[in-house]
Amino acid sequence: MTDHKMNDWWRGCVIYQVYPRSYQDTNGDGVGDLRGITQRLEYIASLGVDAIWISPFFRSPMRDFGYDVSDFCDVDPLFGTLADADALIKKADQLGLRIIVDMVLNHTSDQHPWFIESSSSRDNPKADWYVWADPKPDGTPPNNWLSVFGGSSWQWHTRRKQYYLHNFLKEQPDVNFHSPNVQDALMEIMEFWLKRGVKGFRFDATNFYVHDAALRDNPIHDHLNDPQDHVPDINPYGMQQHIYDQSRPETLTFLARVRALLNRYDAAMGMAELGALDAYQLIGEYSSGDKYLHMGYGFQFLNPKFSASYVAQVVQRMEANIQDGWPCWAFSNHDAARPVTRWNPKAGMEQAFSHMLLSLLLSLRGSVCMYQGEELGLPEADIAYEEIQDPYGLEFWPEFKGRDGCRTPMPWDHTQAHAGFSTVKPWLPVRDTHQSLAVSTQESDAASSLSIARKLIKWRKQHSAMVNGAIDLQQVRPDLVRIARKNATESFVVYVNFSAEPTSIAVSNAEVALVSDHPLAASARLDAGILYLQGYGVAVVRT
């Protein structure tokens, strides 16, 4: 069993991300809802995960599918009611699952009452609750800051005759963290949900919170030689060093307030989403000790790069920067193409590749986020232009198709229309490739991705060295990594073959016995000091 304290449950935990629009529709409108998540909680519990991160379900105009919030203290009717949220939290607690809410504090919807009041004049009580600035003398925006979703991050407002800042859509104005009143209001929102029983928050776009009050221009970034992991190369956003519109030092002052609030509630956890060039340093800084948040979540593995050398580089760089902080790793989420497609395994070996990925993810030092359908080995769904819902995809089509391909409905039953997600045409289509990988087809197959995922999570939990032990990850061959995990009571070495071709390597005298109960033990054998690995094979050796 794990040896961390109950109030440190988050350290090495496995979190399952649910995108509520696409999990389970219970009212026949083609969109998933909170009752659908509640209905599927036994399934989630059967995976062996510790917590569920639920993407935003607050009241919203849905210009960015819930990440544009118009009321943080109510559930959007599309997803249900506050009573449904309470029922979900209660049942999850009964099953030993902690609910983590996706808290979007950086911005609101332009339909939020705060923005409606703030934009009404320059002298109303909430006039400074958003980031307003006068134009340059020639009428252009105050500086060169860019929006992640394309174009300038400044939008002209005719009533105030000023620009307002929006790091994402123009319908998502940034709140002003330099205002004490704004910070107080955000603290009240978090406490509203903590009192309802949630066990923490995943903080969206955490390093975007505070802007440079002097509005200085960002310098140029050499994007050709140093592309940013979290930005598609067709997006000019990657051409700037974002040192003035994000990652400002004042952010830590606010996060200290957040940590003090979380500490007042039973083992509540805070996780920062950090997309930035200096994400390694930020994760270490934002999760250092017990001053700020508990862990940081980066984009290092949410891009097309994938090789033994890249994984080694990322993990070594994280270990060099993390200090006493704590990372949370993810290979997929609602913003990234599914890895079984993105990382392009050999045709016909997608299942073995999926198993290898889950084993690698669960072998890293840190906590882990799995995204719905990852346990099924789902590939990216191909979405035609006329089916696109994502504004990001519409802006950068066809070079970037957006995020809809990873957001399609969860396939539950291959015998039912729309794979049992809904009784009507869903908001995004269910492709045949997903129908064939439905939960119903994998439940009784001991070799399926679902079965392997359950076994891998269980095996990790049974070995404290894999949960909270030290790590030494090295690339030992062009397509082979060696991961040493060790604590005071256990020591393991994990070998991962990144190639579809078999490989072998001589191991040390200390590595004498394969761990036979590891779920992927059949993909390797040890004979006379030589370790043989199948294509995409994984071996765990006790040392």
Q: Which one from 84, 102, 273, 404 is the annotated catalytic residue?
A: 273
- For the question of residue 285 being annotated catalytic, the response is no
How far is the C-alpha of 383 from the C-alpha of 402, rounded, in Å?
A: 9
**Where do the DSSP E strands lie in 187-287?**
200-203, 269-273
Shortest CA distance to 262 belongs to which of 294, 297, 288?
Answer: 294
SS3 call for 136: coil
Which residue out of 25, 68, 174, 204 is catalytically annotated? Answer: 204
Which pair of structure tokens corresponds to residue 410? 């969860």
- Name the nearest CA neighbour of 165 among 137, 179, 144, 182: 144
- Partnered with residue 481 across adjacent β-strands are 475, 496
Q: Is 273 one of the annotated active-site residues of the chain?
A: yes
| DSSP structural state of residue 170 | T
Contact at 8 Å (CB) between 342 and 232?
A: no
| Three-class DSSP category at 146 | strand
What's 396's DSSP letter? H
Sign of CA dihedral 250, 253, 255, 258: negative
**If we measure between CA atoms, which residue out of 376, 388, 316 comes closest to residue 350?**
376
Closest CA to 353 of 540, 538, 484: 538
d(CA 15, CA 328) in angstroms, rounded, equals 9
* Tokens describing residue 228: 């940013």
Quick one: CA dihedral 223, 224, 229, 233, positive or negative?
Answer: positive
If phi over 0 gives left and psi between -120 and 50 gives alpha, with beta otherwise, what is residue 359? alpha
Say if residue 56 is preceded by a cis peptide, omega within 30 of 0: no
Residue 279 in 3-state DSSP?
Answer: helix
Which are the catalytic amino acids?
204, 273
